[in-house]
């Protein structure tokens, strides 16, 4: 499971993404027939509970109290779930009154890496009659830039001899079995090694509004970093933290990494769901 999508689960969307990504990586390649679920049970959950659960065991998908928007974001997001600002659902399918579902789906065969997401998309299109398209939209985002004019970096951002742009090194593992290029930690603390471009994408999951973060640093190569911040720290209308003892991710990135976020307008790919129907329960 990638740490970017599993350790820092802050919203329901990440639950779907983390489990799906783990399952994509976990199952060996099988036959080359179209990846589908052989049997799928879908029932609307009317418990009123806000908690959700999702797991994949042996290719079997189990989702409890799952909002459709969350499942769509994970299935169409690839390596990480699409953030909420990049999924446009019909009004009846978002918010507190949106229907939730319990899903149990058994695969027709073992899935090769990457095939679970395809099978989930087929499930959505078949049972929910989901039709969607991609379009480019302009949205507010952040540019990740070097903070100091002399381009000196922060005390926790150092160049590495590892070349994480090389696929062979990117997938290599350390003696303890962890990936040489990646992230590890827990909510509020992370260490990692990768390119600044990958770091910028990772930071998208940490900013409170999940705006897209684009690398504008012009820093090439691989870097090792450590970052500690206060996740989900509430802010006032002027951006000040409610608790003066906490450190926002914006402050942490500047003080610890020597980088900063600058607001900018970006054109991003957005998934627009044109049609979706309630499935027939079985």
Assess whether pLDDT exceeds 50 at residue 93: yes
Assess whether pLDDT exceeds 60 at residue 238: no
Task: Pick the more confident residue, 222 or 246.
Answer: 222
Task: Pick the more confident residue, 149 or 241.
Answer: 149
For the chain, how big is the Rg over CA atoms in Å? 20
Assess whether pLDDT exceeds 90 at residue 78: no
Assess whether pLDDT exceeds 70 at residue 62: yes
Q: Of 171, 168, 224, which is closest to residue 196 (Cα–Cα)?
A: 224
- Whole-number Å distance between alpha carbons of 81 and 60: 20
Give the pLDDT confidence of 10-53 residue by residue, as tens digits: 344 444 444 454 344 444 444 457 889 999 999 999 999 988 99
How many alpha carbons fall within 13 Å on the CB side of residue 132? 25
Phi, psi of 165 (to 5 degrees): -80, -15
Q: What is the mean pLDDT of residues 69-81?
A: 85
> Lowest-pLDDT range, 99-108, 123-132, 176-185, 216-225?
176-185
- Whole-number Å distance between alpha carbons of 264 and 140: 6
| Residue 214 Cα distances to 11, 28, 200, 226, 261, angstroms | 22, 33, 6, 19, 9
Assess whether pLDDT exceeds 90 at residue 3: no
Assess whether pLDDT exceeds 90 at residue 277: yes
Reported residue count of the chain is 282
User: What are the residue ranges of helices labelled H in the chain?
Assistant: 3-6, 12-26, 68-75, 115-127, 167-170, 196-204, 249-252
């Amino acid at each position: 499971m990638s740490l970017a999508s599993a350790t820092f689960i802050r919203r329901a969307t990440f639950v779907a993404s983390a489990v799906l990504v783990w399952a994509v990586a976990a199952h060996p390649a099988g036959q080359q027939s179209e990846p589908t679920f052989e049997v799928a049970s879908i029932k609307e959950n009317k418990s009123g509970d806000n908690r959700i659960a999702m797991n994949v065991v042996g290719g079997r998908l189990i989702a409890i109290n799952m909002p459709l928007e969350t499942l769509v974001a994970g299935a169409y997001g690839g390596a990480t779930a699409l953030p909420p600002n990049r999924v446009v659902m019909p009004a009846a399918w978002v918010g507190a009154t949106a229907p939730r579902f319990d899903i149990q789906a058994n695969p027709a065969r073992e899935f090769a890496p990457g095939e679970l997401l395809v099978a989930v998309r087929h499930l959505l299109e078949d049972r929910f009659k989901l039709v969607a398209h991609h379009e480019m939209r302009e949205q507010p985002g952040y540019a990740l830039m070097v903070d100091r004019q002399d381009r000196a970096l922060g005390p926790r951002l150092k160049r590495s001899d590892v070349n994480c742009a090389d696929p062979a090194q990117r997938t290599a593992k350390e003696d303890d079995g962890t990936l040489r290029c990646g992230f590890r930690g827990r909510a509020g603390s992370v260490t990692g090694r990768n390119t600044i471009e990958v770091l910028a994408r990772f930071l998208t999951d940490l900013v409170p509004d999940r705006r897209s973060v684009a690398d504008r640093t012009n820093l090439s190569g691989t870097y090792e970093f450590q970052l500690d911040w206060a996740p989900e720290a509430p802010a006032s209308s002027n951006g000040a933290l409610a608790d003066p003892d906490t450190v926002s991710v914006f402050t942490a990135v500047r003080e610890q990494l020597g980088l900063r976020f600058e607001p900018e307008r970006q054109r991003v790919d957005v998934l627009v769901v044109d049609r979706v129907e309630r499935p027939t329960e079985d």
